[in-house]
Structure 1
Amino acid sequence: MRQGVAMATASEHHADGTDRRLLLPGAVGTGLAATVGAGLFVVLAPAAATAGDHLVWAVLLAGALAVANAASSLRLVAAGRPRPGTHAPVRDRLGVPWGHLAGWAHVVASIAACAALAQTMGLHVLPDWSKVFAAVAVVAALGLHLQGIDRSARGEQVVALLVAVVLVVFVTILLTTPPVLTDAPRDPEGAGGPLGVVSAAGFVVFALTGHQRLVDLRDRVSDPARTVPRAIALSLGIVIALHVLVTVALTRTLGTGWLAAREAPLAEAAEISAWPWLGPVVRIAAVLAAGGVMMSLLLSAAGEVALMARDRHLPTSLATRVGPSLVPRRAVVVVAALTLASVVLVDVRQAIAFASSCVLVHFALVHASAWTLDRRWTRRVVPVLGVTGCLVVAVLLPWQSVVAAALVLLLGATIGWVRHTTRE
């Protein structure tokens, strides 16, 4: 899961002063870098535990939710003033409290996603010490951001391309020379059925939310009215296709019972394939993908915190930016501290479920905002279906994560309402 907040920095320009704007290939690469591999290396395991043999339908449903959100987000951005922050369009259409809730949902979802991605790295490097590795990764990312160091866009795109190639090779090997299990686990009991598919889609949504970064970086894209929709369509299409291919390869060769019992299913499947050397390659790809997205998402969440603080949704002290890259250091420290707490308190599946619950609420608010743009019923079909679908999927996630998300979002809504009613 990766959502970015555009910040005007000196790095947006070449040394000769020319504007560095993304063309379609670069925009597609950015979209892929924000999504491909971020959650795919772990998310299919908890999804298989609820969807069973119908897992591919859960992936397609999650893809439909992501596409619908992209459509509403683009309409909302095109109709409003170009203002940074995921909370701003919702606030402009629905009011300050709802805008605050949208921003709050985005921030807490990003924090949980960072915790899940950090633990994903740990599960692929030191499975028995995954939380320790995750904590070290978060601290390292914090240190880099405080120094104003981040990955280049070109580096992100290269890593995304390499990860995509590894996934294609993985699928090819698994389908052409499937591994033989001497004692294949049974399919999860109680899995499957419409409710299981819908619940599983909630997990998969976690891995398909990177398209928002292109919406937020529209000011850095050449001819954004044409390039951004095309880039989102291409990058989302590629990512959904990769998820479907990996899902089919795993379920047809190893079964959903085996898949549901894994912590790092792709790496473990590669290790028992005809090419066992592919296992370490998949683990490296997982670390690169999850680590890169975690780093960017940490800064993105801090950027959203700073923007909300600037707009007085949060304490204004968090809005301060320093250095040539205008890093919101106080906000970065707060987000990193909360991410570390999440790493300690919850495991990777719980973090994914919590993050998905919150991001689906954010999606629902985006759809509700898009609903206000046009009174024609033909223009309200996607927002209505989007709101309904997002809320239903969110509610059907594991109840512990749903309750935790509801309490955290209620806290955020209360803070937003109090600040709204007491502001001058």
Structure 2
Amino acid sequence: MTQPLARRLGLFDAVVIGVGSMVGAGVFASFAPASAVAGTGLLIGLAVAAVVAFCNATSSAQLAAQYPTSGGTYVYGRERLGEWPGFLAGWTFVIGKTASSAAMALVFAAYVAPAGYTELVAVLAITALTTVNYFGITRTATLTKILIAAVLTVLVVGVVLGVTGSSGPVDSELGSFIENGWYGILQSAGLLFFAFAGYARIATLGEEVTRPERTIPRAIVSALGIALVVYAVVALTLLSVLGPELLASSSAPLVDLVVTSGNSWASPVMRVGAGLAALGALLALIAGIGRTSLAMARQHDLPSYLAAVHPRYSVPHRAEITLAVIVCVLVLVVDLRDAIGFSSFGVLLYYLVANLSAFTQDAEHRRYPRALQVLGSIGCVVLIATLPASSIAVGTVVVALGVVYRVLRVRQLFT
């Protein structure tokens, strides 16, 4: 029997990890591609993504209270639906979030690295944050608190400068909310869902929070609500100051926000903030993927080598080191916008399993009505179907590779 993880995280720690996971990815990576497909309609897409995320969050909270162990929906799927649905959830989470880790490392490097050194700085960031995780989850929570405080401060500065420094909202350029059609709006919701996926990290830490049956549900809903408020304020400001066309073509929306509003002096501040946000997201991603990999390895759905827990620091050190090596390789080939679509594909499948699992829970463990799980399941399927074709194609191939691996493992061709 493998060594259990230590319960060291309280409610505030869990909320901070969730907010840090979401805000970094959403504010600095999702709005531009969402604007490209939906224009001003991304605001409707944001609302749709938030509704689906809320349904998924309540399912995750309900399940985490009954199964307070590492692994998130991988564990819930196995317990409620069977081994194959559990494997699908775990595999899609690991591959989607591994791609997200590479993307966040590249976002960090793109903002802070000198020209020509992007990949090197990205690798150094991955190495440094993996080291932080290696020495214990309490250090992860402490660093995340520092990062998210800095990021929220930078966002407040950017929004205030954008609103007060501009000539006013560019209403004539905003256009109709449905100008790009409902398909574009739903596609933007699928891309923006990438920004809400951070609350999953709280569920994957189920073996490390105190009083998990109470802490996890409260932390998930609280973190989601905080992130939604931040996204709505920033999205409205970006659209008002930049307009949908400039936002769609921007690789650094928050930098363009202060420049367009006549506050170019704040550009370095926005770049530092973006770098810190990416670091916060990457830090939480490494922690979450490592623990899901640990849970899968315990059940032999990943190599058993990854099931080790460090005897002193109580972390899945082999899983995290392996992840770091893979992500370092990915930063050489990953594209940020493609990574967002691919990650959304994997995470939406992950939450489809979560909703179906929560639907099967009995009255004793039920905290939310089944209607939310039905709505969440439908929402996941619709958003998957409207993602970019390339994301669906690549995601389908990678999922198929995972299925082939498990078939061979079940047949004991290898372990």
Which of these residues, 262, 270, 275, is aligned with residue 282 of structure 1?
270
Q: Supply the AA of the counterpart residue of 1:362.
A: Y
Secondary structure of the residue that 2:24 maps to in structure 1? Answer: coil
Tell me the distance in 2 between the aligned counterparts of 1:74 and 1:181. Answer: 39
Deviations 1:169-214 (A, max 9, x none): 32222122226999x9999xx9721111111112111111222233
Instruction: Report what 2:384 is aligned to.
Output: 394
| Compared CA separation, residues 249 and 30, structure 1 to 2 (3 A) | same
| Compared CA separation, residues 321 and 68, structure 1 to 2 (3 A) | same
Kept after mapping to 1: 8 A contact 2:186/2:383: yes
Residue 128 of structure 1 deviates from its aligned partner by 4.8
Deviations 1:40-85 (A, max 9, x none): 112111111011121111111111121111111122223x443321
Instruction: Report what 2:393 is aligned to.
Output: 403
Instruction: Report what 2:97 is aligned to.
Output: 110
Which of these residues, 66, 69, 76, is aligned with residue 89 of structure 1?
76
Tell me the distance in 2 between the aligned counterparts of 1:21 and 1:337. Answer: 27
| Compared CA separation, residues 31 and 139, structure 1 to 2 (3 A) | closer
Larger mean CA deviation between 393-402 and 113-122 belongs to 393-402
| Compared CA separation, residues 310 and 64, structure 1 to 2 (3 A) | same
Larger mean CA deviation between 243-252 and 133-142 belongs to 133-142
Secondary structure of the residue that 2:327 maps to in structure 1? Answer: helix
Q: Given the two structures, how large is their TM-score scaled by the length of structure 1?
A: 0.86
Instruction: Report what 1:60 is aligned to.
Output: 47
Which of these residues, 185, 193, 199, is aligned with residue 211 of structure 1?
199
Aligned-residue identity in percent: 34
Q: How many residues align?
A: 405
Kept after mapping to 2: 8 A contact 1:342/1:351: no
Larger mean CA deviation between 252-261 and 332-341 belongs to 332-341
Tell me the distance in 1 between the aligned counterparts of 2:37 and 2:114. Answer: 23
Tell me the distance in 2 between the aligned counterparts of 1:98 and 1:224. Answer: 24
Tell me the distance in 1 between the aligned counterparts of 2:10 and 2:378. Answer: 35
Residue 262 of structure 1 deviates from its aligned partner by 0.9
Matched, 1:196 2:184: yes
Deviations 1:305-327 (A, max 9, x none): 22211111112122223351144
| Compared CA separation, residues 165 and 335, structure 1 to 2 (3 A) | same
Residue 348 of structure 1 deviates from its aligned partner by 0.6
Tell me the distance in 1 between the aligned counterparts of 2:195 and 2:165. Answer: 27
Larger mean CA deviation between 305-314 and 225-234 belongs to 225-234
Deviations 1:234-288 (A, max 9, x none): 3211210111111111111111100011111112222333332322112111111
Deviations 1:361-407 (A, max 9, x none): 1011111111222599x933222221121122122111111110111
Gaps of 5+ in 2: none
Residue 223 of structure 1 deviates from its aligned partner by 4.5
Kept after mapping to 2: 8 A contact 1:30/1:214: yes
Q: Supply the AA of the counterpart residue of 2:395.
A: A
Q: Which structure 2 residues correspond to residues 371-390 of structure 1 after superposition, within 5 A?
A: 371-374=359-362, 379-390=369-380
| Compared CA separation, residues 310 and 223, structure 1 to 2 (3 A) | closer
Matched, 1:138 2:134: no
| Compared CA separation, residues 240 and 186, structure 1 to 2 (3 A) | closer
Kept after mapping to 2: 8 A contact 1:48/1:200: yes
Gaps of 5+ in 1: 1-5, 13-19
Which of these residues, 36, 54, 60, is aligned with residue 49 of structure 1?
36
| Compared CA separation, residues 352 and 317, structure 1 to 2 (3 A) | same
Tell me the distance in 2 between the aligned counterparts of 1:179 and 1:417. Answer: 61
Instruction: Report what 1:318 is aligned to.
Output: 306
Tell me the distance in 1 between the aligned counterparts of 2:229 and 2:147. Answer: 18
Residue 142 of structure 1 deviates from its aligned partner by 4.1
Matched, 1:346 2:334: yes
| Compared CA separation, residues 354 and 7, structure 1 to 2 (3 A) | farther
Instruction: Report what 2:216 is aligned to.
Output: 228
Which of these residues, 163, 180, 187, is aligned with residue 175 of structure 1?
163
Larger mean CA deviation between 87-96 and 288-297 belongs to 288-297
